[in-house]
Chains A and B, each alone.
Chain A
Amino acid sequence: MSEINNDIVLEIKDVYKSFDHLDVLQGISLNVNRGEVVAVIGPSGGGKSTLLRCATTLERVDSGRIMIGGDVLCEDKDGRAVYCDKKREKEIRSKFGLVFQNFNLFPHFSVRRNITEALIHVHNKSRAEAETICLELLDKMDLREKADSYPCNLSGGQQQRVSIARALATNPEIIFFDEPTSALDPELTKGVLTVIKELALEKMTMVIVTHEMSFARDVADRIVFMDGGVIVEEGPAYDLITNPKQERTKAFLAGY
């Protein structure tokens, strides 16, 4: 085992990923400290979502190292990524939560069951424990009265807040958001962004891929600008938005 810094929740080091012959990630390195909120911005096709998908085990990187919550997901060996065994990978999955752009709630489960199912059947919590956690989170999301509704009867904003509750339920060390408001009507984004802001105040470690620049500026500690599969520029959120150094960053931000 290499040195583990307890304050680093996510370590991505020199990660490469290509699909067929398309190089999507070309040497990405990114550390996220505990309690830190990092926003990832950049044009479509720049590799933001792929980076998130690699960090959340949904895609395999070609080379590089990824560590989450002190566990090594993959390690670089002679230019190839070597992944940990399935058991370890499953443990790692319990250390992070992922909020999808399209929510991906389970439509045949009630809100309550969407949140409690993994607690009961993956984390071996009792039904009572799971219920308590669920209702607490729904209170926080201002959705307690929707506990027995089905996702199809909720607005997009409500669905996304349920999916945030689902991601929080297992008490992860870090939460990834993949464009959490991109599928929402503008008037519905506010509630979701408010919830994420509250999480930031509670010092939840988060990585947020987003197109909401003012939100990124106000909520993130640090912003990473990605384009063409590399990190072009990164820095304190306010500085990067108001005073970008790189030409590509300037050109991108000028569009907002």
Chain B
Amino acid sequence: MENIVSTLIQLGQGFKFTFGIFGFTLIFSIPLGLLVSKGRMSKIFVVSLFFRVYISILRGTPLMLQLLLVYFGPYYLFGVNLGSIQVGPFNYRFLATIIAFSLNYAAYFAEIFRGGIQSMPKGQYEAATVLGFSKMQTYFKIIMPQVVKRVLPSVSNEIITLVKDTSLAQVLSVAEMFTAASAAASRQVSVVPFIVAGAFYYGMNLIIEALLNGVEKSMSYYS
């Protein structure tokens, strides 16, 4: 019993980091993904090529490797020591995690957004044009609201995957929940901490699922 309580406390500590990685990654990767998708769709060949390569590499290599590269890269490649950097309560381990996650998830989101934007019928743009809407108005009033509905199922998938992917931050010794669970498991010589951690991840995803279902439902008034 005592073990369970202390496990819960330790995992709860780790959960703060897990949730932090999750939240910050979403905040940064979604807008970044939108920019990357715009770049990927650019009519200027070099721009589109650049983002094509970006997406290809970020999707084509392990996130774990990207985490290590962002964390160790500056020192081993350029001799720059960022290890002492501290932004507010966040050390460089945590910052590197957020940077790597955001860059990686932006690549996935970019492709989802591109799919959504390109699936919009040309007629929607044309109707908006002849009615006199500006490019900005067309984008924000006509196109994006419909794109959001179209991409939501795929975005939901990514969000749920992200919850589980946060455990990869373990490689940078970020004290997130999985790191805490591993430590507790070896200390107690027990598998219970892993089961508890699994329950935490699953519980978080249940809540997220419910929220996303709610959002999806709120947009189901049209088809």
**The stretch of A22-30, A40-48, A114-122, A191-199 that contacts the partner chain:** A114-122
| B115-152 vs A, Cβ < 8 Å mask (1 yes, 0 no) | 00000010110111111110001000110011001000
Is B221 an interface residue when CB atoms closer than 8 A count as contact?
yes
- Interface residues of A, count at CB 8 A: 26
Is A9 an interface residue when CB atoms closer than 8 A count as contact?
no
Counting chain B residues whose Cβ lies within 8 A of the other chain, the interface size class is 20 to 34
| A118 x B133 contact (CB < 8 A) | yes
Instruction: Classify the interface of chain A: helix, strand, loop or mixed.
Output: loop
The answer to whether residues A106 and B142 also contact, given A100-B123, A150-B221 and a CB cut-off of 8 A, is: yes
Q: Name the residue in A93, A94, A104, A118 with the highest tally of chain B Cβ atoms < 10 Å from its Cβ.
A: A104
| B6-28 vs A, Cβ < 8 Å mask (1 yes, 0 no) | 00000000000000000000000
| A154-182 vs B, Cβ < 8 Å mask (1 yes, 0 no) | 00000000000010001000000000000
Q: In whole angstroms, what is the CA distance A94 to B134 when docked?
A: 12
The answer to whether residues A108 and B149 also contact, given A58-B126, A121-B137, A152-B223 and a CB cut-off of 8 A, is: yes
| A107 x B223 contact (CB < 8 A) | yes
Q: Name the residue in A107, A121, A122, A166 with the highest tally of chain B Cβ atoms < 10 Å from its Cβ.
A: A107
| A107 x B130 contact (CB < 8 A) | no
| A107 x B146 contact (CB < 8 A) | yes
List of A residues within 8 angstroms of B145 by Cβ: 108
| B131 x A166 contact (CB < 8 A) | yes
List of B residues within 8 angstroms of A106 by Cβ: 124, 127-128, 142
CB closest chain-A residue, reference B126: A58
Is B222 an interface residue when CB atoms closer than 8 A count as contact?
yes
CB closest chain-B residue, reference A118: B131
CB closest chain-A residue, reference B128: A106
| A122 x B130 contact (CB < 8 A) | no
27 A-B pairs whose Cβ atoms sit less than 8 Å apart in the complex: A57-B129, A57-B130, A58-B126, A58-B130, A90-B132, A93-B129, A98-B127, A102-B123, A104-B123, A104-B124, A106-B124, A107-B146, A107-B222, A107-B223, A108-B145, A108-B149, A117-B131, A118-B131, A118-B133, A121-B133, A121-B141, A122-B131, A122-B133, A123-B132, A150-B221, A150-B222, A166-B131
7 shortest interchain CB distances as A-B pairs:
A104-B123, A104-B127, A122-B132, A118-B131, A150-B222, A98-B130, A152-B223
